[in-house]
Structure 1
């Protein structure tokens, strides 16, 4: 089947390329931060406490939503240029499926090993552990083999395979009813900022308490509702000129909204920690979830507007990072966990330890990318375009 001709709104969106790179880069800092907060994670530094948690909470509501939103936009542009639905699906299976396979069998295995080592659940060497990790008998307290941080790629691939057979219908809906709804919501700044995120408020109030986030794919229904919806929103607005014009007009107001909500939230978290959790219980829960969701969406609107205004241009740096950032995403968490696990027994100053983990992560990702992008098999299994 041949697709319809390309839309005129089909120029390369360098602003979104930059935003994707920034979002993945932010993820590296976030996952290093997970070594040092009290939240449950794979391994922990001896300095883990709650001090960094307010800073982490600034990006928590929108960091992954932004990635799925940009992914939806990318799928719209790429699918409109595809020769056929089958060809499109095959390419995505190769570029996402092979990294998932390698990631689960090789890349993520050291994460599971060191998590179990720190929990004193295993004492053998990695070469002894690895066959047990690949064994489906589930001999450990965590599921093995696992995808850990690669869940984003797994979910994205599933969403792409779900929508690929529906591309003609989705394009028709995008140009029809969905386009009209987006035009109406984008008609003024207030509706763009406060009405567009309402589906996510509904999900929070109806699904999140019943289906806690698991990243296990088959039972993660609240998470799917959020991620698949924002993915579809990205698809539908990708070529909607009215939406992007509204972003240009509205982003300063969205930024002000995000800053105000964030400031109040941080104040309550830091000054009244005994009160803050109760805000997310009835009867205040609907209002709290509405404001938190508006904060997440207004942050995304602000970032889209800022990137359109100042980042919509190509460069050699962007070309390099656009291809490299996916490899960095695949490898960064494994390097972080190895570096954090190896460094924390030395009792280094926490700032020195953090800096060394960051340096080793960036150096490991950079070196690995430079080596593997020159090897056809390595590039193939890490999704590196040659």
Structure 2
């Protein structure tokens, strides 16, 4: 049998990763090259912030792919293939299509207005490319996943469990990622959006995440026991990259470092975050809609604060506060309360049988 219970640490890591994604996107606006990749750019850069951003940049997106694969493993434990595809179409494909036609054009309009460009309606996934990749992975890998489900007591699961019982096995798990980095040879390892590197790296991470859950407790016991080893290796590789390569190390080495950070995060998350809380109940539902709309408020905040004669560090703080506040107010006052909008942002439409069930809905305003 496959595991079907809720893992609070994985939920927390998903929420944290999306939070870091928002901070990272805001930080791009304070780099001297931000406008070149379509962000509103502050005239006075804040380049020092890129040192910590370069540490998290090589694992923040791969971590989400790992977590997405884990989620599918939990899901197929209680669904057949038709139910899985229908549920993922509702939760991933529908928000993806809606987003590229109705959400992305809004922040593109803000960019065009700020830089006095001609206002054009542009259909593009931009930050939602991640959702498109996930849906493709579900379609492509579902036959394999349901085959493994049927063979959940077979030799493949036992073999994976044996490999994951030892940290050496997890080191070996990084080899496909290093091979991908060598074969694709991206111009920059940390650029994943809408390119072959992001697609194949995401596929490997998605499949690996599924295998980590599928194997049982072996993976979690290993990352828990050896979390400090993985952290030491990851930090050493990052400092080596910072001092020797000015943060731009060889792609294969960055792939290895990325996985060391991810194993570290899973280990510490499993130890300290695997417990329920009211905050998690709220944030785990809000994270997805916030991810979808955050670029609108990021660009709006940038257009308001960047022209002001303020210290760039203060602008960075203001833009973060404005983006987070705008996203959560929109989620609270509109998205979560208008049933016709909820499926467009990956939320289920609740069935209220009485007023008591409505009052039980998680909300910061209650």
Band the TM-score falls in, shorter-chain normalisation: 0.7 to 0.9
Secondary structure at the aligned position of 1:376 is classed as coil
Match of 1:266 among 233, 236, 242: 242
Conserved in 2, the CA contact under 8 Å of 1:71 and 1:231? Answer: yes
**What does residue 25 of structure 2 align with?**
31
Report the alpha carbon displacement of residue 293 of structure 1 after superposing the two structures with TM: 1.9
- Corresponding residue to 2:146 among 154, 158, 168: 168
Going from structure 1 to structure 2, the CA distance change for 1:229 and 1:170 (only over 3 Å counts) comes to: farther
1:160-192 per-position Cα deviation (integer Å, ceiling 9, x unaligned): 122334432243577556535533432422342
Distance of aligned partners of 1:196 and 1:112 in 2 relative to their CA distance in 1, 3 Å threshold: same
Deviation, 1:203, is: 0.7
Residue correspondences, number: 343
4+ aligned runs moved over 6 Å, structure 1: none
CA distance in 1, matches of 2:30, 2:282: 31
Match of 1:230 in 2: 205
Cross-structure match for 2:326: 364
Residue of structure 2 aligned with 1:338, choices 300, 308, 326: 300
Residues of 2 paired with 1:32 and 1:209: CA distance?
24
2:112 is matched with which residue?
116
- 2:4–2:75 CA contact under 8 A, matched in 1: no
Of 294-303 and 234-243, the range deviating more from structure 2: 234-243
Contact 2:107 2:296 in 1 (8 A): yes
> Which residue in 2 is equivalent to 1:206?
183
Q: Are residues 209 and 105 of structure 1, via their aligned partners in 2, closer, same or farther at CA, if it must alter by over 3 Å?
A: closer
Please point out which of 103, 125, 128 is paired with 1:150.
128
Equivalent-residue separation in structure 1 for 2:21 and 2:9 (angstroms): 18
Q: Which whole-Å CA distance do the structure 1 matches of 2:143 and 2:297 have between them?
A: 37
Give per-residue Cα distances to partners, 1:98-127, cap 9 Å, x unaligned. 2122211221112222333444432xxxxx
Q: Which residue of 1 aligns with 2:286?
A: 324
Q: Tell me the alpha carbon deviations over residues 196-249 of structure 1, each in whole angstroms, 9 at most, x when there is no partner.
A: 111011011111349996734xxx333221101110111111132222221222
User: 2:172 corresponds to which residue?
Assistant: 195
CA distance in 1, matches of 2:168, 2:146: 32
> Could you tell me whether the CA contact under 8 Å between 2:67 and 2:206 is conserved in 1?
yes
Evaluate the alpha carbon distance shift between residue 149 and residue 174 of structure 1 in structure 2; reply closer, same or farther with a 3 A threshold: farther
In structure 2, distance between residues paired with 1:353 and 1:49: 10
Against the structure 1 CA distance between its residues 59 and 20, is the aligned structure 2 distance closer, same or farther, given a 3 Å change threshold?
Answer: same
Rounded to whole Å, the distance in 2 between the matches of 1:304 and 1:214 is 22
Note if contact 1:103-1:330 (Cα within 8 Å) is conserved in structure 2.
yes
TM-score by length of 1: 0.82
Task: Pick from 84, 100, 105 the counterpart of residue 101 of structure 2.
Answer: 105
Q: Please, which runs of 5 or more residues in structure 2 have no aligned partner?
A: 351-366
TM-score relative to the length of structure 2: 0.86
Aligned-pair Cα RMSD in Å: 2.3
| Rounded Cα–Cα distance in structure 2 between residues aligned with 1:297 and 1:183 | 19
Structure 2 residue 231 is matched with structure 1 residue 255: yes
CA distance change for structure 1 residues 341 and 168 in 2, over 3 Å: closer, same or farther?
same
Question: Does the Cα contact within 8 Å between 1:68 and 1:231 map onto a contact in 2?
Answer: yes
Kindly report which structure 2 residues correspond to 1:269-308, keeping only aligned pairs within 5 A, or say none.
269=245, 273=246, 288-308=250-270
How do 1:48-87 residues align onto structure 2 when only pairs under 5 Å count?
Answer: 48=45, 50-82=47-79, 84-87=80-83
> Aligned equivalents of 1:175 and 1:203: distance in 2?
31
Q: Which moved more, 1:341-350 or 1:308-317?
A: 341-350
1:261-311 superposed Cα distances (whole Å, 9 cap, x missing partner): 112222235xxx4xx75xx5xxxxxxx334322211111111111111111
Residue 349 of structure 2 is aligned to residue 373 of structure 1: no
